[in-house]
Amino acid sequence: MVLGSLAATSLPSSLNLAFVSMFCFLPNLAYNSSLVTNFTFNAFYEDMNINNLAGYAYFFNLAVKLAIDDVNANPTILPGIHVNLKQFTNCGSFTPGIQDSYSGNSGGYAVSTMVEDLINNNISAIIDYEYSKTAKSVAEALSSSQVQIPYCTANVLNPQLADRYKYSYFWRTIPAVALGNHITRLLTYWNVTRIAMIIQNQDSVGYYVGLKIVDTLRTAGITVVAILPLPNKPNQNLISYANRSLHTVNARYIFVSGQTPFTCDILYMLAQMGWTGPNIVWMGLNSPTPYTDPVKTYGADYYTIVQGFIYLQPLLPDGSNPLYNDLNERMYKATSNYSTETQVGPPGFDFINWFGVNSGYDCAMMLLHGFHNLLARDKDLTLDMLVQRKAQDRMNWTLFANLGYDGLTSDNMTLNSYGEVTNAYQFVYQTGVYLNYSIFGQTNPNATSFSYYGDNKRVFYGGQSIPPWDGPRTQILTVYSFYDQSGILVLCLMALGLLASIVSFIFLLWNRKDKVVRTVGVDYTLVLLLGCCLLYLATALPLFNLTRTICMLKIWLPLMGFILTATPLLVKNIYVFIIFNSRDRINIGSISKKLYAFLAGLIALQIIMLSIWSTQVKSLPKWISNEKHQIQQCEYSGNTSTVSGFLYAYNILVILALFCIAFNVVNLRAEYNESGLLFIMGLLYTLAFLIIILLPSNTDELNDIRWSMTIFCCTTVLISLLMGSKAVEVWLARQKMRELTKPVSRSSTGARNQSKIGKESSDKPSSYDGLGRRGRPIGRELIDNHAGKRSTLMNIDKFENAWLANQKSIFEVYPFVSKVIAGLEFWETCQIDIVRCKERKWFTVRTEFKAVSYILLQATDISATDNFAFITLKRSESVNEQVNGKDYREYRVKLEFKNKEFTQNFLNEFNSLSQQV
């Protein structure tokens, strides 16, 4: 916002006040930006309906103008100063039909345009009649240190504006913050201890005042059995939801916190569903008096429906006060032309009672009395300084807090610590004769007592005088939200789970070529992680209000998550089982395609059965109760259909299949053996299904939390066992690799070990059969029938089971199809596998990224020195290696073991297997 110049634009003896309101409701006005330039009080504004907000804007403006006229005519108040009134629109210009759509959503215009116009027109203070939503933005701008314009309101109830630090120039002549105390006092007087709240959540007054009332009621020990936030124009689905909720809690007293149109809509629509009659008491902030013809808008039964509706209003001024009748008469005369055309009423029409204009009148009088007191108090302040806005820093709300002013609203109008006049409240009920009403009682200003007006107690529906029963002492309504502890816990579970799934997904793709990670089956695990995401999303379902859609999702998400996590585990282990148990040559590609199709079929079958089930079963939320709580659960009618049986049976069969395949892969080698994971997940799936199926039979406020925790724990165990273990394994392997492959330490170790065996010939070139890209590879090296010639040094893995030591550990089919060749730098940790496939035997040297195999038939000699083993192998006859013109028919592998004993054990087993060939 760009603030305009603070220079005065009017005569030095003129003090400018502004009335801010919804002039966009009034036709035929001219504007200079937001300033109304042709407003007159005796004009007839065509098409203006005084029964809507246009009437309030017009007549409040008139009351302010009359107050200013009284001050200008009184030589004892601000002598030497003439006060002017200017009108500003906070919502732009007139648009046909705007009264049907406007809801105070013009705060942006009011701050960006109107506030600057107030400054440019040298406005010293403002009075308003506007929505709280708009007033909040304006009050904050006017209270800023750059503006500092006093702001009095006659109708804004938003309790947020009681913040004396943020809105230090804002104050009001209507009690707002303590409004809940007056409602509580009336209910306590009637011995009412249960009430339901319907809140207009798109309106700042309806929302914030409603929440404040809820807090006040609960503090006083009154149970708010339901809080139903609804939009400005609720559709039929939301009204049906409100109807079910009110029935569930057996509500008898219903309070509507919202604007008049919202109150009328809610009252009529719920009354059509039976929420009217002698056992129901409707209450509200505002009168259920529509701005339009109720018969045309709702129906002829509207007058009967509103009978007994109770609302509250600030205490009306004393009718015996001479100023009361005087103001009414002057307002009637000022609008005689207008009144005649629109039939406002006969002479004597009560503008104060009908429109509450006394608050606007008192606003203007208190502002001007405050300026008068400021001039009298601060001797350094001159008239010119006041009218030229050079004393604005002295005009915050405290200037007007204790003026000694006896006003029209009440005597001695002082502001409390919230910046508002403390006043009593009156209670009004609709008689049911047209829109007639009657005031039946009031509280005192501090809301410590309530009293009826005479015998006017027949205030309830049907003319009853005894307050209806407020219903049974019902249980606490258990509903999770994003703001309570249970809701935050559920939200955290979902967030943590999704984070774990995303991290696992990234880890899987980043390390998909790693030997350890490849053993989990990257393609199958991607499908599994998708299922985990669905399961984690399911944990957040308790946060949403139960509808048919949410009830369906509570079945779809867990079952789809289950099938997407269980079937990849199942199919992947079937694949491993086929490979490791086949005695014939197999086509890996063909088997993979068939198993992919099998997996897709398992998933598709689940989707088909769930789709058919969804069409046959009706799901509706219902409330169940225990001694202390009411819990909302889904009820599925028609759940005993054939499709439901097939659905149960199919998912049980999948779990049983996990146990079956677990038994069949129990003897596979460790890195491919997931039998433990299959057993654990089979048990967890079984336990989770039992918990979820049995939970509805338990009436407990923690049901939804248990449901979410069950799914979260089951899914998290799966990710931890499958991906967490592999992540740890990869990390440990790489840590050890870093320690054992340090170039400096390994080079020196190799040099020392080589000196024990014999000198290497520096003039003997070597051939590596094309192995290796950089550094020193593990591979075949030529020798010239001399021990101690050039060879590759290799550091064996330091685990006890670094190589397979017995027949039981030897697989008939080795999982590697071809050699993985890459360069090495100096020493590298490896593992030795002695493998038998049918009648063939070989040993393989495996590192993290490569493997080189040697046929045992070609081994001609094996020997050991200290912790080194040397295996000499004969090259195939088809290979003719020549280096410097010499033929080399043999090559040698050199291995370093942990110690001499370990080396000798390796030699014994190697020789034993060699002799069996």
Q: Are strands 151-153 and 123-129 parallel, antiparallel or unpaired?
A: parallel
Q: Which two tokens stand for residue 159?
A: 């309790």
In contact, 361 and 63? CB cutoff 8 Å: yes
pLDDT in tens, 103-114: 777 767 877 889
Q: Is the pLDDT of residue 232 over 70?
A: yes
Please give the pLDDT value at position 137: 87
Q: DSSP letters along 732-793, please?
A: HHHHHHHHHT-HHHHHHHHHHHHHHH-PPPTT-----TT--SSB--SS--EE-S-TT-S-B-
Mean pLDDT (whole number) for 672-678: 83
Superfamily of domain 179-315+426-474: Response regulator (3.40.50.2300)
Q: Which two tokens stand for residue 91?
A: 């919502």
pLDDT in tens, 507-521: 888 887 777 787 788
Task: Provide the pLDDT confidence category of residue 640 given band limits of 50, 70 and 90.
Answer: low
Of 636 and 774, which is predicted with more confidence? 636
One-letter-per-residue 3-state SS of 456-498: CCCCCHHHCCCCCCCCCCCCEEECCCCCCHHHHHHHHHHHHHH
Q: Is the pLDDT of residue 693 over 90?
A: no
Q: Is the pLDDT of residue 8 over 50?
A: no
Share of the chain above pLDDT 70, in %: 77
Q: State how far the alpha carbon of 631 is from the alpha carbons of 197, 486, 682, in Å.
A: 18, 14, 31
Q: Is the pLDDT of residue 740 over 70?
A: no
What CA–CA distance (Å, rounded) separates 357 from 363?
10
Q: Is the pLDDT of residue 94 over 70?
A: yes
Task: Provide the pLDDT confidence category of residue 9 given band limits of 50, 70 and 90.
Answer: very low
The mean of the pLDDT values for the chain is 79
Short-list 561, 786, 588, CA closest to 684: 561
Share of the chain above pLDDT 90, in %: 33
Q: Is the pLDDT of residue 308 over 90?
A: yes
Mean pLDDT (whole number) for 574-584: 79
What CA–CA distance (Å, rounded) separates 629 from 315?
40
Please give the pLDDT value at position 271: 93
Short-list 538, 686, 707, 577, CA closest to 631: 707
Instruction: Give the residue carrying structure tokens 């509808």.
Output: 547
What CA–CA distance (Å, rounded) separates 612 from 768?
64
pLDDT in tens, 129-176: 988 888 888 999 999 988 899 999 988 888 889 899 999 999 998 888
Q: Is the pLDDT of residue 250 over 60?
A: yes
In contact, 383 and 369? CB cutoff 8 Å: no
One-letter-per-residue 3-state SS of 57-110: HHHHHHHHHHHHHHHHCCCCCCCCCEEEEEEEECCCCCCCCHHHCCCCCCHHHH
Q: Is the pLDDT of residue 917 over 60?
A: no
Please give the pLDDT value at position 775: 31
**Of 45-59, 184-198, 867-881, which gets the smallest average pLDDT?**
867-881
Q: Is the pLDDT of residue 400 over 90?
A: yes
Find all residues with CB under 8 Å of 297, minimum gap 6, and list them: 264, 290
**Most distant CA pair in the chain, distance:** 133
In contact, 251 and 471? CB cutoff 8 Å: yes
Q: Is the pLDDT of residue 63 over 80?
A: yes
Q: Which two tokens stand for residue 720?
A: 């931890």
In contact, 319 and 291? CB cutoff 8 Å: no
What CA–CA distance (Å, rounded) separates 258 from 210?
8
**Of 306-315, 360-369, 464-473, 596-605, which gets the smallest average pLDDT?**
464-473
pTM: 0.52
Please give the pLDDT value at position 756: 37
Enumerate the CATH 3.40.50.2300 domain ranges in the chain, comma separated.
179-315+426-474
Using DSSP's 3-state secondary structure scheme, residue 828 falls into: coil
Q: 14-149+318-409 is classed in which CATH architecture?
A: 3-Layer(aba) Sandwich (3.40)
Q: Is the pLDDT of residue 255 over 90?
A: yes
Task: Provide the pLDDT confidence category of residue 286 given band limits of 50, 70 and 90.
Answer: very high
In contact, 877 and 912? CB cutoff 8 Å: no
For the chain, the distance separating the N- and C-terminal CA atoms, rounded to the nearest angstrom, is 93
What CA–CA distance (Å, rounded) separates 125 from 86?
11
